[in-house]
Amino acid sequence: MRSCRRERGRSFRLAARAAVFAIALVLALAPVAAGAGARTELWDGQRAMHGIADLLRFTPRSLDTVGHQQTIDYIKAALAKTGAVVTTQRWVYRDDAGKPHKMTNIIARFQPANPRRVIVATHYDSIVRAYRDAHHPDAPMPGANNSASGVAMLLETARVLSLLPKPPVGIDMIFFDGEEGPKSLGAGDPNWRALGSPYFAAHLHDFYPGRKPEQAVVFDMVCYRDLHLKQEPFSLAAAMPEVKKFWKIGAAIAPHAFSTQVTRYPISDDQTALSQAGIPSFLVIDFDYEPFFNTTQDTLDKCSGASLQAVGRTLLQYLYTP
């Protein structure tokens, strides 16, 4: 009797141990599946919309303005809650007239010890005035889409990453300064050139003494309520497999927002300098933003939480899909 009871107890313990082992096995194998662990439903478009509204309080957010520094402080404060290792890259840029501009790129590193790196980037500076506005070309340019949407995209992604199991790659989020050029007029300046991303690319070794990042994805103008993301030619030339991968994930999440069409013209943005530095890089942008582009009408009501969420959830799934 005693031995029999003991045997029953033992077989029950063995069965329980087998069940625990089976559960552990399932959990251990789960991250191997493509995209597992991403929990994309946590990425919240309305939170991102609030982020854009916050940034609009600092307009203009262009070089040498109070709003520029307020934007830096805002980004750093948001990143401080995520557990990422945040550093700034500072330098002084002298323009053609010899005028100095204080520049700051902000870099947030997730899993800094992971040798596999992927860059997720945007620019945070805005243009200084609404030069394309037919009625008020000297008025401030709010820049809800260009450039607050990219910043909100990264900050909401950073928040969600802080809640989730680690993805297979270490992520470096970069908030570039000076994408709108030395006059902060973007395409309104015939001598436009991006300032922050080429500086970062020229000092790549400071951040990557060994291997370069495996790829980079750059976001700009991603909140438009009628979002149609076309594939960009420079990006296809530099990182075609990554563009295809990103768009395939996106088409499954939001078919109306991800188009297989190619943009009419190549678009130079912060992906250009990164690609030239040998990092396969691509741009996610909806450049069909008329008649609002770089006018006083680039305001929050042109954006939607649904558009931001479509792109944000695609990014999250992309980062968890090796």
Judged by CB under 5 A, the stretch of 66-74, 91-99, 215-223, 300-308 that binds Zn ion is: 215-223
User: In the complex, what is the shortest distance from the CB of residue 87 to Zn ion, in angstroms, rounded to a whole number?
Assistant: 23
Binding track over 92-131 against Zn ion, x by CB under 5 A: ----------------------------------------
User: In the complex, what is the shortest distance from the CB of residue 145 to Zn ion, in angstroms, rounded to a whole number?
Assistant: 8
Judged by CB under 5 A, the stretch of 136-144, 170-178, 217-225, 235-243 that binds Zn ion is: 217-225
User: In the complex, what is the shortest distance from the CB of residue 308 to Zn ion, in angstroms, rounded to a whole number?
Assistant: 15
Judged by CB under 5 A, the stretch of 11-19, 216-224, 247-255, 260-268 that binds Zn ion is: 216-224
Residue 188 to residue 292: CA distance in whole angstroms? 14
User: In the complex, what is the shortest distance from the CB of residue 110 to Zn ion, in angstroms, rounded to a whole number?
Assistant: 24
Q: Which of 172, 220, 286, 298 binds Zn ion (CB under 5 A)?
A: 220
Q: Which of 146, 215, 263, 304 binds Zn ion (CB under 5 A)?
A: 146
- Asked if residue 314 lies in contact with residue 219, where contact means CB atoms within 8 angstroms, the answer is no
Binding track over 7-26 against Zn ion, x by CB under 5 A: --------------------
User: In the complex, what is the shortest distance from the CB of residue 147 to Zn ion, in angstroms, rounded to a whole number?
Assistant: 5
Residues near Zn ion (CB under 5 A): 146-147, 220
